[in-house]
Every structure is written in C-alpha cells, then in structure tokens.
C-alpha cells in the first residue's frame, strides 16, 4: 500500500505540493486527467517521510498520507 495517495479527480495541477515538499520528491505526472491537467505524483516514494506538508498545503484536499507502523 502506498504512503502517498492522490485523488486525481480533485487535483487541479497548481503545483503547491511540489513547491513545498521538503525533500523535493513530488512532480507532475505525464498523463492527463479528465480535467485536462497533469496531476501531481510522487517520484520517489521510498524517501517520503509522511510529513504531510503536501497534504496540508493542498487547496483541494486531494492528498491522503499513510505512515508505516513500527
């Protein structure tokens, strides 16, 4: 299961999550959504620390974050 889950129907491609990710591991996907935008996607999920800054910054509340339980 993925740590970083996006609802692509909500994403508007504003890029705020990409700009604010402290590890710079987010980017735009190559494919288009039905709205005609390139949604945000995670490029290197192994590095993700589940800090949720991207999800808290998302104006469309499109991102959900999960963390591995130790």
Partner 1 sequence: MKQVFKRPESLSKTPFHYCPGCDHGVVHRLVGEAIDELELKNRAIGVAPVGCSVFAYDYFDFDFNQAPHGRAPAVATGIKRTRPDAIVFTYQGDGDLAAIGTAEIIHAANRGENITVIFINNAIYGMTGGQMAPTTLIGMKTATSPYGRDASTAGNPIRMSEIIATLESPAYVTRVAVNNPANLMKAKKAIYNAFKLQKEGKGFSFVEVVSICPTNWGKKPADSHKWLAENMLPVFPPGTFKDVHGVEKA
Strand partners, 40: 28
Residues numbered 1 to 40 that lie near partner 1 (CB under 8 A) are 1, 3, 9-10, 12-16, 19-20, 37
Cβ 29 vs Cβ 15: under 8 Å: no
Q: Please choose, out of 23-31, 38-46, 48-56, the segment that lies near partner 1 by the rule CB under 8 A.
A: 48-56
Tell me: does residue 60 bind partner 1 (CB under 8 A): yes
Q: Please choose, out of 23-31, 39-47, 54-62, the segment that lies near partner 1 by the rule CB under 8 A.
A: 54-62
Distance of CA 53 to the CA centre of its chain: 10
Tell me: does residue 58 bind partner 1 (CB under 8 A): yes
């Amino acid at each position: 299961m993925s740590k970083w889950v996006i609802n692509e129907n909500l994403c508007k491609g504003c890029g705020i999550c990409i700009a604010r990710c402290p590890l710079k591991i987010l980017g735009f996907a190559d494919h288009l959504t039905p709205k005609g935008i390139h949604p945000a996607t995670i490029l290197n999920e192994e590095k993700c620390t589940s800090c949720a800054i991207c999800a808290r910054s998302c104006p469309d509340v499109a991102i959900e974050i999960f963390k591995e339980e130790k």
